[in-house]
Amino acid sequence: QVHVVESGGGLVQAGGSLRLSCAASGRTLSIYRMGWFRQAPGTEREFVAAITRGGGVTYYADSVKGRFTISRDNAKNTVYLQMNRLKPEDTAVYYCAASGAASGGAVSLYEYDNWGQGTQVTVSS
């Protein structure tokens, strides 16, 4: 079993930056990919970014390309999401998730087995 915990959310003005962290514990060697998803009130959870644990291959939603950067530190079993030029529409609860499957896509939430509790990001205009 893998356990993930997010941190780093908060309130920021539009145009500002935040860095989210996701620390994994447990059977971390079983992780193939880790991803970030977000969910605003009344909407479905949507893909934000993902990174493979081994090769560091990254994936991004079109809405965040060029503004968000996902990175990893395997020694710390931690994944980061650097969010720059934040917009009010980025406001959501951000969730970290881990996937042990090498097959399947990076963007589907159904490919991820272990989820954190989420961290709130609020961007004021």
pLDDT per residue as tens digits for the range 89-107:
999 999 999 998 877 789 9
Closest residue by Cα to residue 113 from 11, 17, 24, 48: 24
- What tens digit of pLDDT does each residue of 21-44 get? 999 999 999 999 999 999 999 999
Query: Could you give the C-alpha distances from 36 to 20, 23, 121, 125, in angstroms and in order?
Result: 10, 12, 13, 23
pLDDT for the residue 102: 78
Least confident of 5-9, 26-30, 58-62: 26-30
Q: Both tokens of residue 70?
A: 């996902």
Closest residue by Cα to residue 46 from 35, 32, 31: 35
